[in-house]
Amino acid sequence: MMSRPVVRPAARSAHAALAGDCACHAARGIVRRGLAAADDPRRATLSSLALGIALAGLTACGENPFHGFSPSSLDGGVRDGAAGSGLTLRFSGKPVSENPSRVVVKFQVQTTAGEPVDGLDEVDFTLSEDGQPLSATESDHRLVAAPRQFDFFTALLLDLSGSVVTQIDALQDAAQALIDELPEESEAAIYSFDGRTTLQRRQDFTFSKESLRGAVAGLNGYRVVDPSTNLYGAVLQGIDVLDARRQLATTPVESAGFMVLFTDGTDHAGLKTGPQARQAVATMRRMPPGYAFFTIGLGSEINSAELSALGPDGFATALEGTQLGGAFRAIGQRLARAASSYYTLSYCSPKRAGVHNLTIVARWRNLTGQATVPFSAKGFTGGCDPLGGSARL
């Protein structure tokens, strides 16, 4: 008899109830066509207006307006030995083998298009060792959803160059909306950038959403220091911020960082280059468990193709300040879903010696995917508790 993993659902569901299937379907189509037309000057005004209307429509439907429409991953969909039809399982580090016979492995589930898959439960996974299904009489499975199993942290980078000042009130409201969507039990920091060589810290990493809101409120009456935009430098320094925060984690392999960058223009400072920033983003996304990058653009001067490349895990646009709240909220919801797509599997292996292969098969909707990882059963004996041991659960 096949055993069923026990799963505690993530704190945030991937899908809210829809407010009218036909209306939501129409709004979803507008977003898809709008994103496809974003780089066509002949259609830019129309597509931006349509995107603004669709943002409001899909928000009313209870959906993330950019769910399913993010740009493709720069480094490909299948990674870390993952295989299947539509889903990928990306392992975070190596499995932990603990006596008497406990195996713990952490991983993220995504579609091959890079969409995070959260809210999976026991009926969505099948486990096997060396090709043989694990039975209920031989092992005890526990599959626990994030965010409590991972150390999540987010760096919010806000463009405060000259042209943004006229939209500062809308930016503050939008940033507050994103803060509301941040995963529980995660840390966040807020930095700003303009034409200067360094980021300006507004709030260091904190669990307190009140402190984050206070930092945003502190932008009241902001005066421009350098009207230029060091966009590429901000991306590179933002990665340094995430790296420094990761070094503080007590369990580095279980930490995952997110960067959300807002801008209303392109890089004018010329201190760093686009290829440098894009390469850094692609490289850091491949690290286990990897960083995720999101971008938000305001106005008609943005380069949507560039921001898509710098935000491969989620890119949203707003034509004017009144649409910023929807864009920030959409990215916040997407970030929360990304955090909830990480899982920890702990089980008692029936193996008693040697190196073996654990295969996890995931199923979601009509998509499947699987990944295999080796583990050592050296010294394994009976008497295992899947929730015991020193590995963090």
Distance CA 66, CA 35 (A): 10
Q: Name the band, by pLDDT with cuts 50, 70 and 90, for residue 163.
A: confident
Q: Are 378 and 356 within 8 A, CB to CB? A: no
What are phi and psi for residue 8, nearest 5 degrees? -95, 120
Class for the domain spanning 74-146+341-376: mainly beta
Q: What is the mean pLDDT of residues 131-156?
A: 77
What DSSP string describes 258-290? EEEEEESS---S-SS-HHHHHHHHHHHHTSSS-
What is the model's pLDDT at position 226? 96
pLDDT tens for 20-55 read 444 444 444 444 444 334 333 333 333 333 444 344
User: Would you place residue 70 in the very low, low, confident or very high pLDDT band (cuts 50, 70, 90)?
Assistant: very low
Q: What is the mean pLDDT of residues 355-380?
A: 96
The yes-or-no verdict on residue 106 having pLDDT over 80 is: yes
DSSP symbol at 319 = S
Q: How far apart are the first and last CA of the chain?
A: 27
Q: What pLDDT is stored for residue 393 in this prediction?
A: 58
The angle at the Cα of 335, spanning 162 to 320, to the nearest 5 degrees, equals 35
- Cβ atoms of 345 and 104 closer than 8 Å: yes
- Structure confidence by residue, pLDDT tens digits, 215-268: 999 999 899 999 999 999 999 999 999 999 998 876 544 788 999 999 998 999
Three-state secondary structure readout of 1-45: CECCCEEECCCCCCCCCCCCHHHHHHHHHHHHHHHHHCCCCCCHH
Cis peptide before 350 (omega within 30 of 0): no
Q: Where are the domains of the chain?
A: 21-60, 74-146+341-376, 151-339
Give the separation between CA 287 and CA 93, rounded to whole angstroms: 10
Distance (Å, whole) CA 164 – CA 167 = 5
Mean pLDDT in the chain?
80
Residue 389 has a pLDDT of 67
pLDDT of residue 232: 98
pLDDT tens-digit series, residues 279-293: 999 999 987 767 999
Q: Provide the pLDDT for residue 385.
A: 86
Which pLDDT score, from 0 to 100, does residue 205 have?
98
pLDDT tens for 175-222 read 999 999 998 889 999 999 999 999 999 999 999 999 999 999 999 989
Name the pLDDT band for 126 (thresholds 50, 70, 90).
confident
Are 205 and 245 a contacting pair, CB within 8 Å? yes
CA distances from 187 to 12, 14, 341 (A): 17, 21, 17
What pLDDT does residue 286 have?
A: 85
- Give pTM, 2 decimals: 0.75
pLDDT at 375 over 70: yes
Instruction: Give the right CATH number for 151-339 from 3.40.50.970, 2.70.98.10, 3.40.50.300, 3.40.50.410.
Output: 3.40.50.410
- Beta bridge pairs of residue 144: 8, 344
